[in-house]
Structure 1
Amino acid sequence: MDLNKKIRVFVVDDSMVFRNFLIKSIGQSPRFEVIGHAINAFDAERQIPQLKPDVVTLDIEMPGMTGPDFLRKFLPKYPVPVILVSSLNLRVFDALEVGAVDFVRKPDVKDEITSKQFVSTLLPKLLIASNSRVRMPRGTVSSAPATTMEARQLQTPTPRTMEHFAGENKIVAIGASTGGTEAILDVVRNFPANMPGVVITQHMPAGFTAMYAERLNKILKMEVREAKNGDKVRQGLMLIAPGGYQMRLVKRGTEYFVSCTIEEKVNGHAPSVDVLFNSVAQNARDQAIGVILTGMGSDGAAGLLRMRKNGAFTIGQDKETCVVYGMPMEAYKIGAVCQQAPLLTIPSIIYRQLGLLTK
């Protein structure tokens, strides 16, 4: 990365007030240059190929064409990294599904404190996105033949379902950040209804974690919900760490529960993957499977290493399939990963560890 080269940003927002706020806020940083703006998706579709920005900020709800519809149409032709700037809106996950890298919640521009917090969150995400891998929308048709690895990834086996199996007392712990909402879905999509308890920390602000859990609950065979303090971790249930809280696995007798408490950020995050993984290492030990997925930084690496040292089987997503190869890379570098694998082969590895595959 050339630290002297400014990152070229293009802003898409139909609100003149918020658009001007974005342009001014981004432009004040010496790392960025706002090279243009659009008032709607059609305007953006015309300008972006000509201006060739490094990263785009995109509103969700715009007249004529929504953000998700724009991405679905535009990204296969012009794969530019996109950061969503949105109110608390379920359609954020539609946009992430079709290729956006990450999102930031819109502030009230009249509130100086929340506006400053917004800018301090947005700028690092723009920096990360400018160097990220753009994931094509699901269902995008490629003219190139699939590689051997791609073909193998697409042949993910379906696990068998049984009333009881050897791994029923296991715990599966997953951590992710940038690009993680869709990576997590790719891993857990075919988990059977009798899957051991799953605990997940995805870096995400308050409000969005509940919507993400609701979205997964509609798609998966398992029950999925945002965790509450004292929830029991049980077979068939997936718990998502709530935004703004630190979630830990705790053990009472032979049963597992979660604690969710408001605390300081760890590694810059609440929830933090390290907080979850450290608690899993302490309480589940060799009964745990740990998975670290795409994300910037090193959160989760130390916790995953502790899990491995305590007997857990640990998996890290490989570079080629990560949106951002940060957290899995740091975990791999320090020896925290038992097996590194492409995203779509991770489910098979988990199933085999649990004895859920017949072959």
Structure 2
Amino acid sequence: MTIKPEFLWYTQCPAPTPLSLAAQKGWLAESFAAHDLAVKSIRQSPDPEVRASHFTHSLDWSFRQGGNIPPLWTRANGRETRVLGITTTDEFQAVITLPGRGITDASDLKGRRIGIPRNDRALIDFQRATALKGVVSALTLAGLTAADVELVWLQDEAFGGDIGQGGYGGLRRSYPYGAEFLALARGEIDAFFVKGAEGLLLAAQFRAVLVADFGFHPDARIRINNGTPRPLTIDAATIARRPDLAEALVASVLRVPVWAKEHPEDAVRLIAREIGVGEDAIWAANGPEVHRHLELTIEEDQIDALQHFVGFLREWDFIPAEFDVRDWVDPAPLAAARAKLAVPA
């Protein structure tokens, strides 16, 4: 007897992901309509417990693509999920400061105060983990370690994320880095980490000094962070009970890179809409080939990068234990969807 859920849940981060574009194009709904199923957005649910699954992946019959820290945390804490594919879309990453602070490159950070956002109320403090990894990467480029600087914890519960109903002309979310920039302006810190289109816009707005700019560094272990790469995950029960639904999901996502390569301006417009920035910010932060980097793949370098990040998260006590990323990946739905669509591996 075929098990049929009432509907499927999906969620995506405000970032360049093929899942986001598949949802905006209507391909996600179309794919599951063929199975007589509807899809519902976790992020748009009025129920806070449902919305929490965007980070914890707690809902059955759900899938997600976005930053990798929440799914890595979830897996390390015992939630049975599977990776169906991985998207590597590089993005701007930098440690910045204001002009006149006597800091021009990463070697100047020695002995300086580096601001790190911290939210003690968050179940998964991915902003803190992201900033720490960015700072460590910048220091590594100068032959330094975190022991060579003073990490200043900035309690950050008000900046970034969903705003809620009302206020600010109806904006749904605010940009990150508010706590860090205020601390920098007040002279409480000397530098902090930013990434993506939002980080680049902030840096440009205040003519910040790019102390270390490494989002497109050739070493994946330098680039690896919450946004690079972004896995597509599904709860293990769904793939076990209905592997055809996992395949349908992957098939809808595989349409995106083919379309994006033929329609770069339209693809960037949809990415900009998802994040809430101008299209020029996407081209600047993700590069002129961003529309060519929306593939869903499972490659050794992607797995190695995620494995390295697992080690980093364990070293800094963000996860309780390390695990083998290769055991987390299920390549079968991607292989089956590629074969049906005649998409080359």
Q: TM-score range by the shorter chain?
A: under 0.3
Bigger proportion of residues as strand? 1
Higher relative contact order (CA 8 A, sep 6+): 2
Bigger proportion of residues as helix? 2
| TM-score normalised by structure 2 residue count | 0.25
